[in-house]
A and B are shown apart, each in its own frame.
Chain A
């Protein structure tokens, strides 16, 4: 009797995670549907003009119409994430190869904590660092070449985001590199290959799905990152390829839409939920691909 009671209590606790997932999806979905009843889905998906100001409360109490085209917000998000990944992938994979192949126990004990410390830094602190230290450095550096850079450049935000992601990419990739089958690695050494040759001929090809998966997880982290971009990127939607210009992201506008005193059912406040829904779907898809790849990697390993 007691046993059954305990079991059902535990089961109820486990159900909470389903309930929470459902609650997240439902809240966001319902609010997003409310938004799309007011504003057009077509504009949201295909227009690059974001003029939410129109939706502010007017003096006579009515709300005006804003234009909610999210293309340039998504562009900013992807572009800054791209810069972040261009920083994080090379450094992260380099770290992973060193820690997984070359490092002895001593240097692992020395270097692993560095990555752990970086992984533990709160993102608001990264954002502060980007604004105070990195942005002036970037502006100063490009001034030497007479190129004017914005203090809120995509480069600054992306670079710091990359630094934030390095530990994720490094530790997951290291796991994959270390779990490459020892038989093949030893076989390669037995053939007289140097460590570099083993890395390129055996380890990397086999660990590649895992490494790609960890990079994808890093990417989904970058897409959803908020504090760094809200501090280091700007509010201006900007569809540009120039990484020295200011840009804005989806997450910045989620926060922006919910600041201030509009009613919860205004288009502006609801737009946060539609942006959140889009972000949720994108990160979910990326996460699923990466989980699938890791699964494939572990299945293929047992050959």
Chain B
């Protein structure tokens, strides 16, 4: 009896030990999200200074560079208004490390007492492109639009091809050497490091076909090739799990093979295929390494309007900001991460929603 107790106890300890692994992950996630949010949220606020025509040049020097330039071009301040402060002032107001001189610090303190300093929602962050010199002016818009363009190209190319491949392999392919080679190729593609796809994009699309470097077109194509195998495998397993009786019933009614696929298999498998595609695209959005090789981490301040124009993407912005020396850029990198994670959460939620929606519809 004593032995049994001991064994049961040891089993219980083992269970706890295994559960520890999950708690470690949970702890990591909490620390991770906590520290990113802690770093990123301040970037959603930005400091403004109230200026009057009589304000002296000392206060003007606290403003953002572009604001200073505007004032110079106008020939001084014409009327009372709020102006964007520069990032060092912003960091000081947020009580973080800043490189201001003591005299400037005391000036800010007096301005604060006069209520001429205010922090507001940082709309620049959402509606501006990148800026190399002034963090307070830089924003995610160019990166977000670029990411959308790249994903659009990726989706348009990858999803139809993958679904067609999956249908061919599941429904039509004869069991011969060619089919086996295709299957092996797909499995190999799925296991290749993503950076190798970057080399492919560089060597094939840019060097060989001469497509424009850093463009959304090349980026999208590269990511499309990367997500092909993922979507194919997901679609294949979706088609495989379609109820065989339904298909047989279709054939019994005299439907041709393509009619069965179009009328029965595809509609039944669609929810899973869609979910798989969305998840693959979500993965592609966060991918950075292959895009680095085709020049998409170049500094691009403007929102791109065509597929062949140089484009930047969200992960590239994060990478660029993270390697800047100014603390204000680190804050922006973290805020950019929050935007990116938000986008991913949105995509995943839509995948879950689609799955639920279709499951509710097909209840036969």
Question: Taking the complex as formed, is B19 at the interface, i.e. its CB lies under 8 A from any CB of chain A?
Answer: yes
- CA A225 to CA B315, docked complex, whole Å: 15
Question: Taking the complex as formed, is B18 at the interface, i.e. its CB lies under 8 A from any CB of chain A?
Answer: yes
> What string of 1s and 0s marks CB contacts (under 8 Å) between A12-32 and chain B?
011111101101100110110
- CA A168 to CA B29, docked complex, whole Å: 16
Chain A nearest CB: distance from B314 CB in Å?
Answer: 9
Asked whether A122 lies within 8 Å of B182 as measured between CB atoms, the reply is: no
Which of A115, A117, A163 has most B Cβ within 10 Å? A117
Secondary structure dominating the interface of B:
helix
Asked whether A255 lies within 8 Å of B293 as measured between CB atoms, the reply is: yes
Question: Taking the complex as formed, is A72 at the interface, i.e. its CB lies under 8 A from any CB of chain B?
Answer: no
- CA A33 to CA B283, docked complex, whole Å: 32
> What string of 1s and 0s marks CB contacts (under 8 Å) between A188-207 and chain B?
00000011110100000000
- CA A252 to CA B195, docked complex, whole Å: 10
Chain A nearest CB: distance from B340 CB in Å?
Answer: 7
> What string of 1s and 0s marks CB contacts (under 8 Å) between B11-47 and chain A?
1001101111110111011011001100100000000
Inter-chain contacts of A133 with B (CB < 8 A)? 31-32, 35
Interface residues on B, range: 35 or more
Asked whether A224 lies within 8 Å of B172 as measured between CB atoms, the reply is: no
Asked whether A95 lies within 8 Å of B189 as measured between CB atoms, the reply is: no
- CA A216 to CA B22, docked complex, whole Å: 21
Inter-chain contacts of A9 with B (CB < 8 A)? 164
Inter-chain contacts of B181 with A (CB < 8 A)? 18
Asked whether A129 lies within 8 Å of B11 as measured between CB atoms, the reply is: no
Question: Taking the complex as formed, is A279 at the interface, i.e. its CB lies under 8 A from any CB of chain B?
Answer: yes
Asked whether B203 lies within 8 Å of A31 as measured between CB atoms, the reply is: yes
Q: A3-B257, A20-B225, A28-B200 are in contact. Are A220 and B330 (CB under 8 A)?
A: no
Asked whether B195 lies within 8 Å of A255 as measured between CB atoms, the reply is: yes
Question: Taking the complex as formed, is B216 at the interface, i.e. its CB lies under 8 A from any CB of chain A?
Answer: no
Asked whether B191 lies within 8 Å of A284 as measured between CB atoms, the reply is: yes
Inter-chain contacts of B212 with A (CB < 8 A)? none
Inter-chain contacts of B196 with A (CB < 8 A)? 24, 28, 224, 276, 279-280
Question: Per a CB cutoff under 8 Å, which of A21, A111, A251, A283 touches B185?
Answer: A21
> What string of 1s and 0s marks CB contacts (under 8 Å) between B109-127 and chain A?
0000000000000000000
Chain A nearest CB: distance from B349 CB in Å?
Answer: 12
Binds A, one of B148-156, B239-247, B284-292: B284-292
- CA A239 to CA B208, docked complex, whole Å: 37
Inter-chain contacts of A91 with B (CB < 8 A)? 21, 24-25
Q: A196-B10, A276-B196, A284-B188 are in contact. Are A102 and B18 (CB under 8 A)?
A: yes
Question: Per a CB cutoff under 8 Å, which of B7, B167, B191, B225 touches A197?
Answer: B7
Asked whether A120 lies within 8 Å of B287 as measured between CB atoms, the reply is: no
Question: Taking the complex as formed, is A124 at the interface, i.e. its CB lies under 8 A from any CB of chain B?
Answer: yes
Question: Per a CB cutoff under 8 Å, which of B19, B192, B348 touches A24?
Answer: B192
Asked whether A118 lies within 8 Å of B28 as measured between CB atoms, the reply is: yes
CB interface residues, A 92-114, toward B, < 8 Å = 92-95, 97-99, 101-102, 111, 114
Asked whether B8 lies within 8 Å of A163 as measured between CB atoms, the reply is: no
Question: Taking the complex as formed, is A217 at the interface, i.e. its CB lies under 8 A from any CB of chain B?
Answer: yes
A: residues with CB less than 8 A from B are 2-3, 6-7, 9-11, 13-18, 20-21, 23-24, 27-28, 30-31, 90-95, 97-99, 101-102, 111, 114-115, 117-118, 120-125, 127-129, 131-133, 163, 166, 170, 194-197, 199, 217, 220-221, 223-227, 230-231, 251, 254-255, 258, 264, 272-273, 276, 279-280, 283-284, 287, 291
Can you report 6 residue pairs joining A to B where beta carbons are below 8 Å apart? Answer: A92-B21, A122-B288, A128-B36, A227-B288, A231-B322, A283-B192
A-B pairs with the 7 shortest C-beta distances? A224-B193, A122-B286, A94-B21, A27-B203, A226-B289, A13-B164, A98-B18
